[in-house]
Amino acid sequence: MQDIRNIVVLTGAGISAESGIATFRGPGGLWEGHRVEDVCTPEALAADPELVHRFYDLRRAALAGVEPNAAHRALARLDAAWDGDLLIVTQNVDDLHERAGATRMLHMHGELLSALCGVCGRREPWDGALPEGSVCGACGAAALRPDIVFFGEMPYQMERIEAALARADLFVSIGTSGAVYPAAGFVQTAAYHGAQTLELNLDPSMGSVFFEQTRIGAAGVLVPAWVSEVLGD
């Protein structure tokens, strides 16, 4: 790893599935028994805000029953020990990376433990139920919604992500389907700028063809082994 200085890691639902959090699209294209279109679009929020708020309230409450797994802990160890640049970009909305100890990271698709004002755009920490009509602490509007990037909305901090990909010597994708853009295109961006690319996944993703190397297996096994390689253990 002597040629590697700057690393970008992308994590998806597969890394948290081993902690018991359901992957985004389960059997039949459902997420926790709901069509994604019914709970994760601006149109769904407008049509049935009670359903959308209740859905994310349940997901938020469920976080108390799960814990970071070996893959989360390994990335936190990398974060603490790596003296080059590191950015962990997660598509997940849970807080397992943070609870494991990672700090150099961002949630491109939002966070369950956050509320977003639909009027002024302020994001604020939120760890309990978020009923429809909850009031924004900044502007006073009764317009708080789950701080989740819905389909059709722009993911967070794309400029920062693109800049990190352009500087990366190594791009690693962990537990992603390779089906959801723009994240699915990160491997091509990183490779275009000269980065080495590695996929760690339970099964080959839709984007496996774009990676120089793919390792197949459980994240809880593959990620600690890879981190040990990087750190020279």
Q: Kindly list the catalytic residues.
A: 109
Q: What is the phi-psi region of residue 99: left when phi exceeds 0, alpha when psi lies from -120 to 50, beta otherwise?
A: alpha
DSSP states of 176-199? --S-STTGGGHHHHHHHTT-EEEE
Query: Could you tell me which residues are beta bridge partners of residue 144?
Result: 117
Cα separation, 186 vs 189, whole angstroms: 5
Cα separation, 10 vs 174, whole angstroms: 6
Contact 75, 104 (CB under 8 A): no
Cα separation, 127 vs 179, whole angstroms: 30
Query: 10 Å Cβ neighbour count for 200?
Result: 27
DSSP states of 39-54? HSSHHHHHH-HHHHHH
Cα separation, 20 vs 127, whole angstroms: 19
Cα separation, 205 vs 228, whole angstroms: 24
Q: What is the token pair recorded at 157? A: 């901090």
Cα separation, 39 vs 100, whole angstroms: 28
